[in-house]
Homo-oligomer: A and B are copies of this chain.
Amino acid sequence: MADQTGKLGHEASDMTEEEFLRTYKAKDYPKPSVAVDLVIFTVVDTVLKVLLIKRKGHPFKGRWAFPGGFVFVGDGFHNQGEGVEMAAHRELAEETGLPLGCCFLEQLYTFGEPDRDPRMRVITVSYYALISPDKMPLVKAGDDASEARWFFVEDLPDLAFDHDTMLQVALARIRGKIDYAPIAFELVPPTFTVAELRSVYEAIKGQTYDAANFQRRFRRMLTDGTIEQAEGKRRGTGRPAKVYRFTRR
């Protein structure tokens, strides 16, 4: 953390902690700007999509990029501002119009190479978010007049900054994590059928799953207590399907 080696802080070995804090002033060493960027996923009609915004200003003017913004830092001493994760939640809410903290959000990776941004040194903490399709209608993207749009992951435009790398990291994360963590339930309505959950797996993994075998994985989750049957049936073009609910255990 800060000044373990004493190289950047002054020597304060003889002071009490109280004296030290009273006399301490943050030095004016150069500091980077810190931003958060969001890779926001959703699954619509068995297709994995991400939310992109079109940049209005330089650099990369007119190019598509992941939404994001700077972390608010207070005056640095009396007020230290917001946490990085809170900044990500705030940006997510601002960008989607959804209420604060209503979506799954997890830290992804921190990109800190110099010259990522030609204007100044920017270190970006990236997050990924999962938005279930039942929340989608609320999202302010989608109309063509807007500057924000959902893109099919397999058919993206050129991205600004190092956002192409960011997407690859995000994809690798969810593709790996879906096998051992219950993140698929974040991309499905509160109640769902086996086929709906399977389509999420197929969209994320980019492969098909044998419907019969998926049923049995599903049955195991049922006996685990991971999921439970809900009331009603989902009626589609074929035989009506049972409906389930994720029990957050």
Contact = CB atoms under 8 A, between A and B. Distances in A.
Interface of A: 1-9, 11-13, 15, 17, 20-21, 24, 26, 29-35, 37, 53, 55-59, 61, 65-71, 73-77, 80-85, 87, 94, 107, 109-110, 112-125, 160-161, 163
B122 A2 contact: yes
A47 to B, nearest CB: 25
A69 B31 CA distance: 13
A82 B114 contact: yes
Contacts of A81: 30, 114, 121
A110 B126 CA distance: 10
A2 B70 contact: yes
13 contacts: A1-B117, A1-B161, A9-B119, A17-B61, A29-B33, A32-B32, A71-B112, A76-B120, A77-B120, A83-B112, A83-B113, A84-B112, A110-B125
Nearest to A37: B1
A23 to B, nearest CB: 10
A35 B8 CA distance: 11
Contacts of A20: 57-59
Given A17-B61, A53-B4, A57-B12, A74 B119 contact: no
Contacts of A1: 35, 37, 65-66, 68, 116-117, 122, 124, 160-161, 163
Given A1-B35, A32-B31, A73-B31, A57 B120 contact: no
Contacts of A124: 1
Contacts of A55: 4
B58 A84 contact: no
A147 to B, nearest CB: 9
